[in-house]
Amino acid sequence: MCELLGMSANTPTDLCFSFTELTRRGGGSGPHKDGWGVAFYEGRGVQAFHESRASAQSDIARMVQTHPIKSEIAICHIRQANVGDVCLANTHPFQRELWGRYWTFAHNGQLNQFEPRPGIYEPVGTTDSEALFCDLMNAIRSSLDRDVDLKTLTRFLVKHSNAYSKLGVFNLLLSNGDWLFTYCTTKMAAITRRSPFGPARLQDADVTVDFGTVTTPSDVVSVIATEPLTVDERWDRYEPHEWRMWRKGEVIDRGKQITTADSPA
């Protein structure tokens, strides 16, 4: 399986600390050696880096770790290939334009018997994840309009995510630069850092940061990851089939698909 990392903040914030931990797991402390990618939003623009090699041995990944790129929303992915060759075209996160914005998508999991519907968006690579992204984007484009309100869009994303999750493992990060939508079927955890800020230490690297020295009292920064990244903070784990919509570092909407196992006897 792959691993995901997302960030939502109310002020431009760098991801160096969390990204350092994630890249260690990409062929170092973890098996996810088949490529990596990261996308940072700057307004409507996106600065992205991708490689088909292990992030733990990547000079480009080290550059991203040590050169702060400030963003309010970021999406990262390290890949352990299941479907599709190990190549640049198959590295997440994937991007498509819709309604004058870049939409960015990263997925962890594998769907069984998934058949994408035809539409204007087509995959460039050979992963089921990119095919799934194109399927979702085609559904949004054909069913909604550019003035759709966020509540209606969220319900649409939840409906389709619930349907995808019935086909297999579906852990998702999706953003258009204004919000960050997350959906979990198996593993996902989040932490929101706000005043008073304190120190934190990474799990797989001897790196500690005192957030109190690099933040202001009004800052709110949330990090979402497949697995907790630090050892001395309390992460909030998602439940299976739980979704959350983030904006400016806060959860503005959330819910959970009711499954047969959740129903009363």
CA-CA distance, 91 to 174, in Å (whole number)?
Answer: 15
Reported pTM? 0.93
Number of Cβ atoms within 10 Å of the Cβ of 213: 8
Structure tokens at 209: 């940061």
Burial status of residue 135 (CB atoms within 10 A of its CB: 0-12, 13-18, 19 or more): buried
Where is average pLDDT lowest: 15-24, 124-133, 255-264?
Answer: 255-264
Give the CA distances from residue 241 to residues 31, 71, 110, 117, 250, in Å, rounded to whole numbers and listed in that order: 25, 28, 15, 23, 20
Active site members: 2
The mean pLDDT value of the chain amounts to 90
Helix (H, G, I), strand (E, B) or coil at 191: strand
Topology classification of domain 3-262:
Glutamine Phosphoribosylpyrophosphate, subunit 1, domain 1 (3.60.20)
pLDDT, tens digit, 9 for 90 and up, residues 33-86: 778 999 999 999 999 999 988 887 889 989 998 888 999 999 998 877 676 678
pLDDT score recorded for residue 79: 79
- Rounded distance between C-alpha atoms, residue 200 and residue 246, angstroms: 22
Domains in the chain: boundaries: 3-262
For 159-179, what is the mean pLDDT?
A: 96
- Cα–Cα distance, 229 to 3 (Å, whole number): 11
